[in-house]
A and B are shown apart, each in its own frame.
Chain A
């Protein structure tokens, strides 16, 4: 009896790690992220810029950053009838809520014909279905806390074929943590059958840690456990190499000047013709990126904090610094 309890305790203990070990690698915990980084470097007044995708769109346009084109917005229920006018000249588009999170409420239409509107997975929708989706967005079905929301209609991104086989349905996007304008850590998020085509790691998407130096995979995890092959397609995840890497780093680093947020998560997708495009900004980026990279964020963040002339550095200089100090193989 006693032995059982002892074994059980040992078993429990083996599933936890001593905090000193985490501290040694410099793993950033939730409390420290909130106190030492988010609340210190992200002024509260700037949050709406990233939480509201419509405002994000505005600053993105102003900064001339590469992002999907805005086709139109619908803010009131009575405007839903105008949907057809907005979309009739576009072959493919995407309807999303301005305050959505985690990819909820995003409807992607790849093309339309006499039968109706084609979704990415082949399903065909009528105009009435689209209109209902828009009213759902307006009613706040997809927004945090159920606030009433605004629907955004964006031009469709022509995904680069380079990730074929690495993702199951869904959009493969690259998350880069940008700290005071320095890209400090990056990962690719690949949807799986477990995650229902969503790119959220806690829902079962695969996270692939990327080398800041060249955009090649360093490690892949699913459900926080290392994996080698994509669970659905079977491709070796460590072969992954993100193209246009320098352009992508440049795009993410420029988001610092654009948003004013010191601790920022940038979500970037690759368009077949236009290259890296900014999809979304996040003022409270998650910590799973550390698991995907097999490394703690703290040493890199500290290195940037230790810089005295960071403010004077140009984007190119910052990227060069990041590549030099945060690359695996340097």
Chain B
């Protein structure tokens, strides 16, 4: 009985790991349980405007990448006449660079990016803290600044609390703050003082996302590092953390825009919110994903479509197993119903059923003549295959001539399988009579229809494709069914007379 124990262990392991994988995918990759769920995406357009001075122009715009909260899906530019390159700086910042030999007058360059609102976004590389640099200020600014810093240091313990207190001090000591503001903006002072205190910090440029807004400007935030972690601080309020709708645009200590050969430049942003089916969103998300992620979304679209079908087969197989072991239906050819069900998926149910009955019925008629010829088996099957192809061709042409385009779908049926079905049915007819043909043929069709209904179910398709763990669960269920020693449903009927003497 030890083998039984090992068996249940295996089944348990399969089902538990299947469930685990499935839950893992749901919670770490945010793949919904139900199909047709929508994901929010933002389309943001940056418009760079400047006046060209009639000579060569080089414009370099910082562009956002995947960051906590957002996954970059796609980007595009519109800028007639300009050459375009996406470049990456040493500090990790990505930029769009436009260049042209001659330009004059008002220029407008457009950059559009689609960002997926994604709580599970994984930045391609972690944010690097900027290098500390200490700058010497002249009096009286140095003294005022030090006063502010000392006060803040007294009341703080960690880099984050220091940042918060420093911002607070700028509000409390308004005289000092005003004095400092004459030299450079408050945000710069805060960053500089943090650096002076040994805390890596930088200014970042961010964008508040609001649906349908146009001509928006970037706002500055302060990014404060504690080791490899960082927090964002609102320099006005001292509020810590990223507001939900805040997208970091430039966060690599670089300028938002660098322009050579132009003046009066400014960048404005407009944005709209969109709902994307999650499948489309995921496809885009994983389109150029290099991180090791065992997902079918990393495959090319054509292979994805192929796998969508392949991953459904275990579902059909499970239906067959349950029907045969638990119910006791007879089918001709163990897994023939699954293949027929796959064909039904292509043809739609009614067309498929009519087509199947037409082909098999006609095939049986012709096959009954073949059995008079006393052929050897291989030759006979081959003849039946050719015959099936002939029947399919004739029905297709007939359907086309009659204007029934649905009829053309008959070609989706697997011909070899049909040939074997006809052969088996025909032998069955000769050996056991038409009654058995109806029972087994009907059983096969019933199972095929059930398998079709299961495999064509939107929910099941969604689950099998998105959660590979489901396959392990199906495997576990099939193994369990293979160990079932109880009565089949139809046996309860068959053996009923037995119980009648034993009341």
**Interface residues in chain A, defined as those with a beta carbon under 8 Å from any beta carbon in chain B:** 15-19, 21-25, 27, 29-32, 35-36, 102, 104, 132, 135-136, 139-142, 146-148, 203, 219, 221, 224-226, 290-291, 294-296
In chain B between 454 and 503, which residues have their CB closer than 8 angstroms to a CB of chain A?
483-489, 491-499, 501-502
Interface size on B, residues (CB 8 A): 32
Binds A, one of B82-90, B265-273, B369-377, B405-413: B369-377
Q: Return B54 CB to nearest CB of chain A, in Å.
A: 87
Chain A neighbourhood of B376, CB < 8 A: 139-140, 148
CB–CB B484/A31 < 8 A: yes
Asked whether B431 lies within 8 Å of A16 as measured between CB atoms, the reply is no
The answer to whether A291 and B497 touch across the interface, beta carbons within 8 angstroms, is: yes
Could you tell me if A141 and B371 are in contact, using CB atoms closer than 8 angstroms? yes
Q: Are A226 and B497 in contact (CB under 8 A)?
A: yes
Which residues of chain B come closer than 8 Å to A226, judged between CB atoms?
497
| A291:B486 contact, CB within 8 angstroms | no
B83-102 with Cβ < 8 A to chain A: none
| Chain B residues in 8 Å Cβ range of A15 | 493, 496
Among A21, A136, A221, max chain B CB count under 10 A is at A21
Q: Which B residues lie within 8 Å of A32 (CB)?
A: 485-486
B279 at the interface (CB under 8 A from A): no
Known: A25-B498, A35-B485, A294-B497. 15 other contacts (CB 8 A): A17-B493, A19-B492, A25-B499, A29-B485, A30-B491, A31-B486, A32-B486, A35-B483, A135-B374, A141-B371, A146-B380, A203-B432, A221-B497, A225-B497, A295-B498
Known contacts A31-B485, A146-B423, A148-B377; A25 and B502 CB within 8 A of each other = yes
The answer, among B374, B377, B494, for a CB contact under 8 Å with A147, is B377
Is the C-beta of B261 less than 8 angstroms from some C-beta in chain A? no
Contact B486 A29 (CB under 8 A): yes
Closest approach, in angstroms, between the C-beta of A8 and any C-beta of chain B?
A: 16
Q: Report the separation of the CA atoms of residues A134 and B384 in the bound assembly, to the nearest whole angstrom.
A: 24
Chain A residues with Cβ under 8 A from B488's Cβ?
29-31
Whole-angstrom distance between the alpha carbons of A128 and B49 in the complex?
Answer: 101
* A17 contact from B374, B433, B492, Cβ within 8 A: B492
A219 to B501, CA, bound (A): 11
When distances are taken between beta carbons in the complex, the residues of chain A under 8 Å from B423 are 146
For the complex, what is the distance from the CA of A136 to the CA of B493, rounded to whole Å? 38
A30 touches B495 (CB 8 A): no
Tell me how far the C-beta of A143 lies from the nearest C-beta in chain B, rounded to whole angstroms.
9
Between-chain CB contacts (< 8 Å), 13 pairs: A19-B486, A29-B491, A30-B328, A30-B488, A31-B484, A36-B485, A132-B374, A139-B374, A140-B376, A141-B430, A142-B431, A219-B501, A294-B497
Beyond A32-B485, A148-B376, whether A294 also contacts B498 by CB under 8 A is: yes
Docked pose: A53 CA to B126 CA in angstroms: 75
B427 contacts the other chain (CB 8 A):
yes
Is B167's beta carbon under 8 Å from chain A? no
B-to-A contact residues, CB < 8 Å: 325, 328, 371, 374-377, 380, 423, 427, 430-433, 483-489, 491-499, 501-502
Residues of B close to A21: CB separation below 8 A: 499, 502
> When chains A and B are docked, how far (Å) is the Cα of A25 from the Cα of B499?
8
A226 to B496, CA, bound (A): 11
In chain A, what residue has the closest Cβ to B492? A16
A219-B497 Cα distance, complex, nearest whole Å: 12
With the chains together, A29 CA to B493 CA distance in Å? 12
Q: Which of B371, B427, B493, B501 contacts A16 (CB 8 A)?
A: B493
Task: Please state if A17 and B499 are interface contacts (CB–CB under 8 Å).
Answer: yes
Bound: A31/B491 CA distance, A: 10
CB-contact partner of A139 in B375, B492, B501, under 8 A: B375
Q: Are A31 and B325 in contact (CB under 8 A)?
A: yes
Q: Which residues of A contact B433 (CB under 8 A)?
A: 203
The closest CB in chain A to the CB of B439 belongs to A202
In the complex, what distance in Å separates the CA atom of A236 from the CA atom of B424?
Answer: 39
Residue on B with the closest CB to A290?
B498
Find chain B residues with CB under 8 A from A22 CB: 487, 491-492, 495, 498-499
| Chain B residues near A225 (CB-CB < 8 A) | 497
Question: Which B residues are CB-close (under 8 A) to A139?
Answer: 374-377
Docked-complex contact B498 and A291, CB < 8 angstroms: yes
Which interface residue of B433, B485, B502 has the most chain A CB atoms within 10 A? Answer: B485
B497 near A140: Cβ-Cβ < 8 Å: no
Most buried by A among B493, B495, B502: B495
| Nearest-Cβ distance from residue B138 to partner chain A, whole angstroms | 92
Alpha-carbon gap, A24 to B495, bound state (A): 13
A207 and B427 alpha carbons, distance in the complex (Å):
26
Nearest CB in chain A: distance from B94 CB, A: 62
Distance in angstroms from A20 CB to nearest chain B CB is: 10
Chain B residues near A219 (CB-CB < 8 A) = 501
Q: A224-B494, A224-B497 given as contacts; is B487 within 8 A of A19 (CB)?
A: yes
Q: Measured between C-beta atoms, what is the minimum distance from B334 to chain A in Å?
A: 12
Complex CA gap A104/B432 in Å reads 9
Query: CA of A17 to CA of B499 in the docked complex: distance in angstroms?
Result: 8
Chain B nearest CB: distance from A14 CB in Å? Answer: 9
Q: Separation in Å of the A328 CB from the closest CB of chain B?
A: 12
A27 and B483: CB pair below 8 A?
no
Which of B375, B431, B483, B493 gathers the greatest number of chain A CB atoms within 10 Å? Answer: B431
The answer to whether A27 and B371 touch across the interface, beta carbons within 8 angstroms, is: no
Give the distance to chain A from B371, nearest Cβ to Cβ, in Å. 7
A133 smallest CB distance to B (angstroms) = 11
User: Which residues from B are CB-within-8-Å of A18?
Assistant: 492
Complexed CA–CA distance, A132 and B377 (Å):
16
Q: Choose one: B325, B377, B495; the contact of A290 (CB below 8 Å).
A: B495
With A102-B431, A203-B432: A27-B497 Cβ-Cβ less than 8 Å = no
**Contacting residues, chain A, for B377 (C-beta < 8 A):** 139-140, 146-148
| B496-A17 in contact (CB<8A) | yes
Provide the bound-state CA to CA distance between A23 and B376, in Å. 47
Residue of A nearest to B371 (CB): A141
- Say how far A191's CB is from chain B's closest CB, in angstroms: 15
Chain A residues with Cβ below 8 Å from B495 are 17, 22, 27, 290-291
Return the 6 tightest CB-CB contacts between A and B, nearest first.
A32-B485, A29-B487, A17-B496, A16-B492, A146-B377, A21-B499
Closest B residue by C-beta to A18:
B492
The answer for the CA separation of A18 and B493 in the assembled complex, in Å, is 9
Of B488, B492, B494, B499, the most chain A CB neighbours within 10 A belong to B494
Task: For B432, list chain A residues within 8 Å (CB).
Answer: 102, 203
Known: A31-B488, A203-B432. A16 touches B496 (CB 8 A): yes
> In the assembled complex, which residues on chain A have CB atoms less than 8 Å from the CB atom of B430?
141
Q: What residue in chain B is nearest A27 (Cβ atoms)?
A: B495
| Chain A neighbourhood of B374, CB < 8 A | 132, 135-136, 139, 141
CA distance A221 to B497 in the complex (A): 9
Contacts of B325 in A (CB 8 A): 31
Chain A residues positioned under 8 Å from B375 (CB to CB)? 139
Question: Which of chain A's residues have a CB closer than 8 A to the CB of B328?
Answer: 30
| Chain A residues whose C-beta falls within 8 Å of the C-beta of B493 in the assembled complex | 15-17
Task: Kindly list chain A residues whose C-beta atoms are within 8 Å of the C-beta of B502.
Answer: 21, 24-25, 294
Residue of B nearest to A24 (CB): B502
Q: Which residue of A lies closest to B426 (CB)?
A: A146
Cα–Cα distance between A30 and B329 once the two chains are bound (Å): 12
In the complex, are the beta carbons of A294 and B501 less than 8 A apart? Answer: yes
* Chain B contacts for A296, CB-based, 8 A: 498
